Amino acid sequence: MTIESGERMPAGEFSVMTDKGPKSVTTDDLFAGKKVVLVSVPGAFTPTCSMSHLPGFVVHAEAIRAKGVDTIACMAVNDVFVMSAWGKDQNVGDEVLMLADGNGDYARALGLELDGSGFGMGMRGQRFAIIVEDGTATHVAVEAPAQFEISKAEAILEVL
């Protein structure tokens, strides 16, 4: 079942890269007592994700934080090394927390997995943005296939 606005975010775990190597981050670490914009892209280094989706959140990070957001996090079904390299390539710095959902467990828990096997990508996460307040989804914007409108930074700024 797909996550809906008003529902608690499922428990889960991500990997992030630190100065000391990969580290686990739980959903409690990420969401408890915070307002978070969780963005999902089908894949690091893919065209729309690299040219528009992630860069929009980097460019608008200050305006998003001004709306009371504590963390902007970008997840993808990629390993922690790929997410780290993509974050460096995109110059995210401290603006966006790069979350690796390596096996797609969290995308599946949200009911937002995507079968990209027809494109040689295997199982991925759909393109979406969720506003989370203290562990509860308050806005869920899942893109229709091949669309990029409701989950982009500008659209999320309008609903914050």
Active site residues: 49
Nearest alpha-carbon partner for 133 in 67, 63, 45: 67
First to last CA, the chain: 25
Residues 25, 13: contact at Cβ < 8 Å? yes
Rounded to whole angstroms, how far apart are CA atoms 83 and 18? 12
Residues 131, 9: contact at Cβ < 8 Å? no
Contacts of 115 (CB under 8 A, 6+ apart): 123, 124
Rounded to whole angstroms, how far apart are CA atoms 91 and 25? 21
